[in-house]
Amino acid sequence: MEELLADEVLQLLENDNDKQLKAYLNELNISDVEHLIDELPQHAVKFMETLSIKRAVNVFRILDFPTQERIIKKLQSNKLTELIRQLPPDDRTALLSELKGDAVKRLLILLNDNDRIEALHLLGYQENSVGRLMTPDFIAVKIDWTVNRVLSHIRRYGKNSETIDVIYVIDKDGVLLDDIRIREILLADPEVKIGALTDNRLIALKVDDPQEEAINVFRMNNRVALPVIDNQNILLGIVTVDDILWIAHEEYTEDIHKIGGTQALDEPYLDVPVFQLYKKRIVWLIVLFFGELLTITAMSNFQHEIDKVVILALFIPLIISSGGNSGSQAATLIIQAMALGEVTVKDWWNVMNREIFSGIFLGTTLCLLSFIVLSIWQFFSPEFGTHFILIGLVVGCSLIGVVLWGTLMGSMLPLLLKKLGADPAASSTPFVATLVDVTGLIIYFSFALLFLKGVLL
């Protein structure tokens, strides 16, 4: 489908038929135009200039930032002015917060005085706060108005509002009292005062709340928009679910990158220059490199034991990978649970108790499995001699120990980082795996000394 669209548009471009191109683009869904811009980035500016301004704004809103930046650098000044002025305040704030220096000044100059003041005000809120997401375009009514007056107010000002699905009730000082769905207003008696429709079940966001908290509030309350208030409960703006979905996507992507042991990418993978990709990945690789040096140190301390019982070296990859895998599992589960608000730092004791039992059960299962595998191995190829049961005990008990330790480390590290004010996703699975590698070797050779000392050692 996308290839067919691209072929048709290329044909219109080759024929230099701007009129037909404009009619064709204006008939497409905005998501289709966005796909065309991805497929034909060299014509992105041409598409934006050809589209009607309303559709150009809607397309521009859903483009990733690098594409937006390329477009505004080359867009004709009259079209750029129209585009920036008609962008919703929240989308305009998001764009300006990503741009740097002169580019921000250039766009601010294009705005009228009121819009410029509004943009600077929104940019003044802390980065990653709800204030950066909100739009001041909403419908607010007084509690003593009748439904008839409210409907007249909506007809007059609703066109400029981000949404009219929800109407906000305020007092004479602008303090938010309640919100009412438009459905309830439309079905009410025209002479009923709006105060009679309020139910005092208000849910609001604070302007300085972190954006992650707003995501959880939306998820738990099934709202299309939520009001934003200050410390005096004055209604400042609203946040709509479309903005929250974008933020949730960005947060999810960032966490996935960090869990994988890399810094978050600021743009799509194929748009990131190779050297920038290198810089994003090399930091964690260096950290993990030095972490693995500890593994070498640990092995060197047990070199004498390895020389005496070479067969012990065969099981090192099995031991440390089992511990790393269990730690990675636990870290992923806890990070995800924390992101969804299912687990907090206060739950650390419950988490530890659960993971102790989980680690014992998982380690015991692998212990029994290792005994079965070693027995079959010994039957067909008796490499372990008469002491294969002792070696089996070393491997089995080590598996219980490293899996239990890996599970505890994987579950506790995210909670510890959160307590210290760091990002839990930074306790990425490679980091947990590296930490467990070192301790896993110590556990393994400690059991080797316990069961084999005086026999093989």
Q: Which one, of 343, 361, 324, 335, lies nearest residue 437 by Cα?
A: 324
Name which of 197-201, 262-266, 312-316 the model is least confident about.
262-266
**Beta-carbon count within 10 A of 4 CB:** 8
Which position has the higher pLDDT, 381 or 350? 350
Residue 229 has pLDDT above 60, yes or no: yes
Spatial separation of the C-alpha atoms in residues 249 and 239, rounded to whole Å: 16
Percent of the chain with pLDDT over 90: 17
Please give the pLDDT value at position 35: 85
Instruction: Report residue 453 CA to chain centroid gap.
Output: 51
Q: How many C-beta atoms surround the C-beta of residue 131 within 10 A?
A: 25
Q: Please state, in angstroms and as integers, the Cα–Cα distance from residue 36 to each residue in 29, 107, 285, 422, following that order.
A: 11, 26, 37, 40
Distance (Å) of CA 189 to CA 148, 171, 193: 8, 22, 9
For residue 91, CA distances in Å to 48, 113, 137, 372 come to 17, 18, 12, 61
Domain with CATH 3.10.580.10 in the chain: 140-239
Pick the CATH number of 140-239 from 3.40.720.10, 3.50.50.60, 3.10.580.10, 3.40.50.300: 3.10.580.10
- Minimum mean pLDDT range among 159-168, 195-204, 253-262: 253-262
Band of residue 455 on the pLDDT scale cut at 50, 70, 90:
low
Ranked by mean pLDDT, the top range of 64-68, 285-289, 451-455 is 64-68
Q: Pairing between strand 235-240 and 225-229?
A: antiparallel
Higher pLDDT, 246 or 351: 351
| Structure-model confidence comparison of residues 369 and 250, the more confident one | 369
Q: Of 118-127, 270-279, 354-363, which gets the smallest average pLDDT?
A: 270-279
**Above 90 in pLDDT, residue 111?**
no
166: phi then psi, degrees, rounded to nearest 5: -130, 135
Number of H helices, E strands in the chain: 21, 6
Residues of the chain with CATH 1.10.357.20: 269-452
Q: Residue 269: which pLDDT band, with cuts at 50, 70 and 90?
A: low
CA 365 vs CA 76, 176, 244, 332, 411: distances in Å: 67, 58, 43, 21, 20
pLDDT surpasses 80 at 221 = yes
Q: Decide which of 40 and 355 is more confident.
A: 355
Give residues with Cβ within 8 angstroms of 266, minimum separation 6: 65, 272
**Torsion angle defined by CA atoms of residues 371, 373, 378 and 381, in that order, rounded to the nearest 10 degrees:** -160
Residue 355 — very low, low, confident or very high, per pLDDT cuts 50/70/90? very high
pLDDT of residue 263: 67
Band (pLDDT 50/70/90 cuts) for residue 102 is confident
Q: Which residues pair with 176 in a beta bridge?
A: 170
Is the predicted pLDDT of residue 427 greater than 70, yes or no? Answer: no
Q: What is the DSSP letter of 200?
A: S
Q: Which of 355, 357, 311 is nearest to 330 (CA)?
A: 355
pLDDT at site 227: 92
For all residues of the chain together, what is the average pLDDT? 83
Q: Which of 42-51, 104-113, 264-273, 327-336 has the lowest mean pLDDT?
A: 264-273
Arithmetic mean of pLDDT, 362-378: 88
Tell me which architecture the domain covering 2-124 has in CATH.
Alpha Horseshoe (1.25)
- The pLDDT, as a whole number, for residue 1 is 47
List, for residues 153-189, the tens digit of each pLDDT value. Answer: 999 888 878 888 899 999 888 899 999 999 999 999 9
**Quick one: tokens of 339?**
């992101």
How confident is the model over 382-417, as pLDDT tens digits?
Answer: 766 667 788 888 889 999 999 999 999 989 988 888
Kindly list the distances between the CA atom of residue 385 and the CA atoms of 21, 57, 271, 391, 394, in Å, as whole numbers in the listed order. Answer: 81, 76, 58, 10, 15
Domain ranges in the chain with CATH number 1.25.60.10: 2-124
- Please determine, looking at this structure, whether the domain spanning 269-452 carries the CATH number 1.10.357.20: yes
d(CA 271, CA 152): 49
Residue 255 has pLDDT above 80, yes or no: no
